Structure 1
Amino acid sequence: MTANAHVHAHPGSVRKHRHSGIKRKWTPTKIVSALLLILSTIVFIFPFYWIMTGAFKIQTVATAIPPEWFPLKPTLSNWQELFKNPIWRWTLNSFIISVVEMIAVCLASSTAGYVLAKKLFPGRKIIFTMFIAAMALPKQVILVPLFTMLADFGWVNTYYGLILPAIGWPFGVFLMKQFAQTIPGELMEAAKMDGCSEIRLFSTIILPLLKPALGALAIFTFIASWNDYFSQLIMIRSTTMMTLPLGVSMMTTQSEFMTNYGVLMAGAALASVPMIAIFLVFQKAFTQGITMGAVKG
């Protein structure tokens, strides 16, 4: 009793005793791996750092050689110049297009992936093969017929023309189909024996099990839609319909022969914030999805 009381009185000492014998051994392989990871992190973060610091530099400093690695005299003039444009309208357009496209792609891809993975019907393998083939098809190949079709519908310079063509994303269907295959068929049969309808089965059982894959797909879709500069350049005709990346790239320059890089960096910094935010929101599901795919695939 005394020993037990002593243990309960000092739980921290027990944990300390358990972990006291564990020592980290830094082998040459671990040291090299850590150094490579640190170097890779610096390489990938540096462009973002350069954009963020350049947004607070005047034009002469932003283009100076040798470069000024940190703004010694930071200025807000770039941001003031940036917000002389309809920046909030461009941001709203980007959010509407990216969020609606993200939701629609996740819903359509999860439904199609579930059907292709768990339903038996004639031509299922042919349809899936067509999706795989479509993944290798560059967007530029179908741009002319797609633009002609959207022009016939009157959807050029509209949200419809920017959102609807992207809903049937082949990669999304492929990703969800691969994850849906890991769902046990016995679970679905048990739910049907209990009287569960097909819609209820999909909404209450299948979708929660596909949550990690949906998180990964949501991030991929949002980033792809937000950065889809090429399609937006072709489909958008008016300033009010411009998205943030497109508007930033077409902002008025200081003169006919000189680009205000400080303003462009401020616009690029503003455009990168939503992508970072959406990744942080779905980070847990994204990590689970990638890990599950690596283990089960």
Structure 2
Amino acid sequence: MKKFYIITNHAKDAGFVVTGQIAEFLESHGAVCSCRKGGAASGESRREAEQEVIPPDTDCVIVLGGDGTLMRAAYDVHGMGIPLIGINLGTLGYLAEVERPSIYPALDCLLKDQFQVERRMMLHGAVYHEDKLVHEDIALNDIVIGRSGALHVMSLYNYVNGNYLNYYRGDGVIIASPTGSTGYSLSAGGPLISPDAALFLMTPLCAHTLNTRSIILPAENRITVRIGAGRDDTVENAMAYFDGGRKTPMVTDDRIEITRSEYDTLIVKIRNDSFLETLKRKMSDI
């Protein structure tokens, strides 16, 4: 690799000190490096702006921050076929593999082409209101359908390939990718799944039942979640969250259809650790 682009979470790298050090190191070793500094727009406009400035022949995007920063970067560059490597400047980071003490050895590996690239499946969500498509988005970790406004229990009807699956009454439901199994779904009691798998993980949020468990489904399926009526048949106000950031409102009888995205996220892996070894190392840091 010789051509790099750096995306930095300015809140995690005050004054872009680490960013500058990385750029200087790469350029001193004959590489070409450009950086995005400062804030950016949100949503689709941010992605379009990012793709306009990233050189199309970039070999790798280096992401400084944490898992949240890397997920936003995955959205920004999806469809470009450029692999990402995360440098963890936050706390716990499953996606951001490289820790501060290992930055320069990791950069050496990139320059010497000593790495592997993992392909991570992404999710695609399409929101329908009165049977009309009103919003589409993708996610690397998860799509969460939850309540909007004051705390209350909501009703959700779930279908697979058009066939009724089950009914949740609770705080919401998480549809996660294998990558997302270590995120919100894990906190909600969901299982851990190797990130190289291809499947969906459906985890209810605080469901009002004693026997509700996560459900694992093949990635070829289409999962539909329909918003039920509110209390006393009032209109329910809900929200669909994509990777915990981008969101779109939903109301009673709206539905979201979740399928595997046509895009994958490419993650550069320096260490040869297995998923279980990485999990053990990361969990021991908590």
TM-score, with structure 1 as normaliser: 0.25
More helix by share: 1
Higher RCO (C-alpha under 8 Å, 6+ residues apart): 1
More strand by share: 2
TM-score, with structure 2 as normaliser: 0.25
